[in-house]
Amino acid sequence: MNTTLELAEDLSLTRVGFGALQLAGPMAWGPARDHDKAVAVLHEVVKLGITHIDTSDYYGPHTVNHLIRETLHPYPANLRIVTKVGARRGPDKSWPAAVSRDELTAAVHDNLEHLGLSTLDLVNLRITDTTAAADVVEPFTVLAELQEQGLIRHLGLSNISVEQLAAARGIAPVRSVQNFFNLAVRKDDALVDLCAEEGIAFVPFWPLGGFRPLQSDALQEVADELGHSPLQVAQAWLLQRSPTILLIPGTQSVEHLRENVAAADITLPAEAVAKLNAVGSTEARMPWEH
């Protein structure tokens, strides 16, 4: 059962959501590879009862939000669209930081316009290449001001440190944290636990990113023993790791979307959890560093 996590009275998200990045073209650039398949996936998201879509106006850029609006607007009453700001796309398809007051304000308005919304449910501030607490203060303050203006309901953070989370919480409530974390890359174990204690959603990305061959072999062995795919087992492990972990796997396939949601029905036995726990590393390795 794809249960929900209630983060606020008006913010209830299914624990297995949907990450929309893959609905853009290669390298998250340009329109969907297959428009009709992308539309079918979004319709299936709603049909499966998913209430959590994660997107950003810099996916495409703009094309994913346009597709979501084209397909699902007017949105179901229980659907929450989570967006991300703090970066932009360069003409070389790069992802440079964009955290000035003007850039953040423009990004919020762009998300509103392209999604066809008057208020964004949850906006995550993406931080790039810094763990210093001071670096989150000014941009998060800008988003808090936009929240006070009624343009944003709730705020979150992405790619941040424990110190940055503390600094942001001194400015406004933080509902979610999106960081690179999975059973192989465990440098944020303490942050996962802190979020659980404080009732903050922890949303890990790249559930199979940063794996070494031996780690992948261990995951495959457990998956074979249980009769599930490695991705399903990796997601099930995350769901069991913390009660406030939310997943946002992305796909361009209705079949794969259903498989991802089915991970919520998997309960890993203790011996499988122990075997998977043993492969973890506190070393941060991004997927392209294989």
Phi, psi of 207 (to 5 degrees): -60, -20
Tokens for 118? 């008057």
Q: Which of 18, 58, 59, 202 is catalytic?
A: 59
Q: Are 83 and 124 in contact (CB under 8 A)?
A: yes
227: left (phi over 0), alpha (psi -120 to 50) or beta: left
- Annotated active-site residue 59? The verdict is yes
CA angle 52, 245, 185 (to 5 degrees): 120
Q: Are 239 and 214 in contact (CB under 8 A)?
A: no
Phi, psi of 120 (to 5 degrees): -90, 135
DSSP state at residue 76: P
Q: Which residues neighbour 14 within 8 Å (Cβ) at sequence distance 6 or greater?
A: 2, 3, 4, 5, 49, 50, 51, 52, 246
CA angle 96, 23, 7 (to 5 degrees): 80
How many angstroms separate the CA atoms of 211 and 187, rounded? 13
Positions annotated as catalytic residues are 59
